A and B are shown apart, each in its own frame.
Chain A
Amino acid sequence: MGRYVIRRLLQFIPTVLGTMFLLHYVTSLGIQFSGNPVRAIFGDRKPTEEQLAAMTEKLGFGDPCLEQPGNPCFGLFVDRLQDIFLRFDFGINLQKEPVTELVSRALPHTLKLVLIAIVFEAVIGIFAGVLAGLRNGSFWDYLVKISTVFVISVPIFVLGVVVRQYVGVEFGNVLRGQDWIPEVISRGVFGAGFIADYPTASLVIPGMVLGAVSLATTARLTRTSIMENVRADYVRTAKAKGLANRRVIGVHTLRNSLIPVITYLGVDIGSLMGGAVVTERIFNVRGIGSLVAQAATSGEASVAIGVVTMLVMVFLLVNLLVDLLYAVLDPRIRYE
């Protein structure tokens, strides 16, 4: 077990380095082909040569290799790695704020959002999947099948905008007209987006929107898995032993059926953090997603690299945790 964990951790190193290099290369190419992002700060007003040079140097876009299209800028990459791993310096953005500060400000919002999304999709998704899987061909099965197809086929930005308008604005306005409804519900939960006064309540609906697409997949996965396992030999044995139906389903069937679902949920934490780019913008949540989106539009290479590197680490760690969870669910799985 310990050796397994150490081996996995060592495998992180090439993955992280590889990702960072790819990111570094892509952002360098972006600057090489679309020009010094500092120039855009000045807009229609042309800065003097010295002014431009001073700002460029300060923001770390001064390396001459950034002017040679196609040059992979190895020197700059090594500098960057040293800054990040030796000095824990992720660079600064165009407003001269350190990336570490930007991330520490944004991270709590995204963590809350992702947590709400995961809980929502796990609880509702597994429940709906079990319901549909046990009563194959029933009304509930069709309801789950049809609604999941519907949710999967609607792009998240459409879903988000529709929910914001009809749940947050229209329905929320009706609630806000009632005196007996507490503000935490009428303004917080059913607000049109993130509100600083209610930092958690106002993330509930955005979190549900974020989790909606994965919820459908979770429900589908659980359904198939349950349908397979209820016919398995060990379930028949358990039934034959005369165990109560609740125990047969709840412990014997569900535990095994959840392995693919847990794998999916684990991988999903990573993609939810990425998917937050759209949801966070729609609901004005100033988390990691909007940070990445903003960095991409303004060409802030250091922000994009810093944030995505941290995301990759989270992704890898969560996957390691998921792999370790297998042993809990299925005693046959052992780690060497």
Chain B
Amino acid sequence: MRGKTLKVAVAATAIALFATACSSDGEDTTENNNSGGTLRIYASEPAFLLPSAGDDEPSILVIRQLYRGLVKYNAETGEPENDLAESIESEDNKTWTVTLKDGYTFDNGEPVNADAFIRAWNYTAYGPNAQNNAYFMKRIAGIDEVSGEEPAAEELSGLQQVDDLTFTVELKEPFAGFPAIVGYSGFFPMAEACLADTDACNETPIGNGPYKIDGSWEHDQRIQLARSETWAGEEKGAADVLDYKIYADVDAGYAAFQSGELDVMYTIPPARYQEAKQQYGDRMYEAPGDSFTYVGFPTYDERFADKRVRQAFSLALDRQGIIDAVFDGRFTPAEGVVAPTFDGYRPGVCEYCTQDVERAKELLEDAGGWDGEPLVLWANAGAGHEQWLQAVGDQLKAALGIDYELKVNLQFPEYLATADEKEFTGPFRLGWGPDYPVVETYLYPLYGSGSDSNSSGYNNPDFDALIAQGDAAADLEAAIPFYNQAEDIIVEDMPVIPMWFSKIAALYGENVDEFHWNKISDAEYGKITLKNS
């Protein structure tokens, strides 16, 4: 079975009447297996519609309908399946040969060939272009020569065209997960005409997916996509039109949903969650999510250098209690550092992640106790983290008798700079979202020695070696045991206190017939079907 399907109960006549009354485009639905019509989607303003630049959720949710890449993710299992690629093969996990399917074109008629991928990835990686997704090209050989303000080369040496539909990718280090990461929207192809004028292409994208833009991006108002006639793939878009309506404020979006202006809404304002669940319970899709919240330890501070102190802190916390009290139960307590939706997740791997006050006291005692100075807990200002961090402090105080104070006055830019410069003076809150559906994304970027996002300053050669072994394994299946061992090291050493993973809650309206959600790439707007009136 492909796609998660939720059948909606048959609506009462009165409600059907209401539905027709508020859908202005209801009349142009076609009889085509429940497809057709206009799907009205809640959206916030995307940052960019260029695949090389858009790395935020609102951008990606539009880009994924306009463009398609080498692979797509199975909605159920999250595994990569070939989309535009005929095959992605390698013998050593270092040099990959990609063969493309024939017959795909961009909206302007240009063929989607090997060059379309090579030019897109080169453009993304080239330093002076300052594209947000340059980060994702870092595994490709030659990246060091093209990045920076005045790079030595203009093109990645690791990308070579073989023939029109074949190209090779040489990586810096072997990585078994390569076929999985190229499904990320930053790896999508770009047309020549698009790169000739990227500003224009950002406003009026030239895509290669099942939908194409209708008109152009109406900033802060809406983005309309229409089904593309040139799409050669199997899965055609279900709805005729995808109408992304842009809201500045999620509460305003929720009010619009309530008044029948929207068919799908992928997020619910936290304060309205309970009410929404009561009112739209049968039309609310809930699933575990993958964004990770943690409290990191500055392991460069000698007070946190002993792992028993870190373990004791983690043992002192009742995660479910905080989630229930502060967030209406809307998160999943972390039982490790890998999200439950990932292949390679194991429940209950973290033995220090359930509250055990006695053991926490013992461990802290063994480590020499706390020096009596108040503990400083860090969070960035203005994003609502104070409340739960205070609950963390209260629990630490109750369990271990450590006084604490909150340091929550830094704005996000400065807070991140403090993290980069390793100047935290106490535990700090941070989050992490996966970059690609390989468990490695939860491990190396956060805990690898010298990794960019390793804010705790954790450094362990054994861990690095296991990750390298996993990366070099024959395939993802064989890599997972190594990654699992690496995770075991982390939950024992505790450079961070794993707190919780997000939960997805999406709403869909009476007009929606089948709702689809992909556990990796989130909302699958192209597959959602509408009822025929």
Contact = CB atoms under 8 A, between A and B. Distances in A.
Given A46-B419, A173-B18, 16 more contacts: A35-B410, A35-B415, A39-B413, A39-B420, A40-B412, A54-B130, A94-B47, A161-B251, A173-B260, A176-B18, A176-B22, A192-B255, A196-B221, A286-B221, A286-B248, A290-B220
B249 interface: yes
Interface of A: 33-48, 50-51, 53-55, 58, 94-95, 97, 105-106, 161, 164-165, 168-169, 172-173, 176-179, 183, 186-187, 191-193, 195-197, 280-284, 286, 290, 294, 297, 299
Contact of B132 (A39, A41, A176): A41
Contact of A97 (B21, B132, B219, B420): B219
B320 interface: no
Nearest to A164: B255
A46 B419 CA distance: 9
B132 A50 contact: no
Contacts of B430: 44
B26 to A, nearest CB: 12
B413 A37 contact: yes
Interface of B: 14, 17-18, 21-22, 24, 47-48, 127-128, 130, 132, 134-135, 147-149, 218-222, 245-249, 251-253, 255-256, 258-261, 382, 410-417, 419-420, 430-433, 445, 452-453
A299 B413 CA distance: 9
A281 B21 contact: no
A191 B413 contact: no
Nearest to B221: A196
Contacts of B147: 48, 50-51
Contacts of A187: 22, 24, 261
Contacts, number: 146
Contacts of A50: 127, 147-149
B279 to A, nearest CB: 11
B34 to A, nearest CB: 24
Contact of A36 (B24, B253, B417, B431): B417
Contacts of B128: 54
Contact of B259 (A44, A45, A46, A176): A176
B247 to A, nearest CB: 5
Secondary structure dominating the interface of A: helix
A177 B259 contact: no
A173 B252 contact: no
A38 B413 contact: yes
Given A35-B414, A39-B417, A183 B452 contact: no
A284 B149 contact: no
B452 A46 contact: yes
A315 B22 CA distance: 40
Contacts of A197: 24
B96 to A, nearest CB: 24
A281 B248 contact: yes
B252 A45 contact: no
A240 B249 CA distance: 60
B258 A35 contact: no
B331 to A, nearest CB: 17
A196 B17 contact: no
Contacts of A47: 135, 452
A334 B293 CA distance: 68
Nearest to A97: B219
A45 B128 CA distance: 19
B249 A281 contact: yes
Contacts of A38: 413
16 contacts: A36-B413, A40-B412, A40-B413, A41-B132, A45-B453, A46-B452, A47-B452, A51-B127, A105-B219, A161-B251, A172-B259, A177-B21, A178-B21, A186-B21, A196-B245, A283-B252
Contacts of A94: 47
Given A177-B21, A192-B261, A299 B411 contact: yes
A168 B259 contact: yes
A44 B48 CA distance: 19
B420 A168 contact: no
Contacts of B258: 169, 173, 192
B148 A196 contact: no
